[in-house]
Amino acid sequence: MPEGHTLHRLADDLTTAFAGRPVVSSSPQGRFAAEAARIDGRVLESAEAFGKHLFVAFADLPSVVHIHLGLYGSFVITPDVGHPVVGQVRWRLEGAATADLRGPNTCALLAPPEVDAIVDRLGPDPLRADADPDLAWHRIHRSELTIAALLMDQKVLAGVGNVYRAELLFRHGVAPMTAGRRIPRVRWNAMWDDLCALMRVGVERGRIDTVRPEHEPEAMGREPRVDDHGGEVYVYRRDGQGCLICGTPIRRRDVAGRNLFWCPSCQRRG
C-alpha cells in the first residue's frame, strides 16, 4: 500500500502505539536479527516519514531504523500482543501492540549521516510542513521529460507514486506526456495545492480517495469501487471503463515499466 500517505500514517500510528515505552524487538524471518537484538528493550522515541521513507528512532541509540516498503512491503500494527508469527516477518515490534514488517525493500540500521544523505536527495514532500513547492517547480519547468515521469521522480517530489500521479493529472486535465517545461506555473501551483490536500485525506483515511463529491458513487448512481488499493479514483486501474465525467474509455499504457492511466478526452492540456 505504499505511497507517501501510507508512510506518514504509519509514522503517526507507530508513535502513538509505541513511543515512550520499551519495546520487544525481533526478526522472526532472520534477515534483521542482529539489528533487532540491538534494539530489543530500548524505548522507542519517534517514527517519522520523509516521502516514502520511514525512520524509527530509539533512546540512547544514535542509529535509526530506515524502512522502505517498496512495491509490496507492509507494516501492520495490531492491538494484541503475543500472537504467533504468520509468514515472513522481517521485524516484529511488541509493546502495547504488535507491529509486523513484511517484504520491505529496505530495513536497515543507519547512522545519522546516512539518514541525512537519503533525506537530502528527496524533493519536497507535500505532507511535510517545511516542503517548498518551488524546488519541484524549478526542476519541472526546465525539463524535457514528461510530467508523468517527473511526478514519479522522488528527487522532484517525495511521496508521489503511481496512483497519485494518475489521479493528479486527471484532476487537472493534464495530458500525461506533456513535457515538464510546457506546464504553466499557475497549473503547477494548483496541482501542488491539490496534492497537499489529497495526500492529507490519504493519511486520514488510510487510502487514496480522489473523486470529488459530485462524482462520488452515491451522486452518480453507481456502485462504490472495490479494489486492492481501496479508494475511489477517476482513472487508476479503470482502463477500458468509461470516464466518470465524459464516458470515454480510460486508457492504459506502459511507461518505463509502470502502468499509466488517463482519459484521452478530459486530459488534453499542459
Nearer to DNA, 227 or 268 (CB): 227
Nearer to DNA, 42 or 139 (CB): 139
Nearer to DNA, 87 or 213 (CB): 87
- Annotated catalytic residue within 42, 182, 200, 258: 258
Nearer to DNA, 43 or 255 (CB): 255
Nearest approach, Cβ of residue 161 and DNA (Å): 2
Nearest approach, Cβ of residue 218 and DNA (Å): 22
Nearest approach, Cβ of residue 50 and DNA (Å): 11
Nearest approach, Cβ of residue 55 and DNA (Å): 14
| Active site annotation includes 3 | yes
Nearest approach, Cβ of residue 231 and DNA (Å): 7
- Annotated catalytic residue within 9, 52, 102, 237: 52
| Active site annotation includes 2 | yes
DSSP output for the chain: --SHHHHHHHHHHHHHHHTTSB-EEE-TTSTTHHHHHHHTTPBEEEEEEETTEEEEEETTEEEEEEEE-TTT-EEEEES--SPPP-S--SEEEESSSEEEEES-SEEEEE-HHHHHHHHHT----TTSTT--HHHHHHHHTT--SBHHHHHH-TTTSSS--HHHHHHHHHHTTB-TT-BGGGS-HHHHHHHHHHHHHHHHHHHHHTS-----GGGSHHHHT-PPP--TT----SSTT-BTSBPTTT-PBBEEEEETTEEEEE-TTT--B-
| Active site annotation includes 223 | no
Distance CA(131)–CA(152), nearest Å, equals: 17
Residues in touch with DNA (CB under 7 A): 1-3, 6, 29, 31, 51-52, 68, 70-73, 86-90, 102-105, 152, 154, 161-163, 208, 228-230, 237, 256-259
- Which residues are part of the catalytic machinery? 2-3, 52, 258
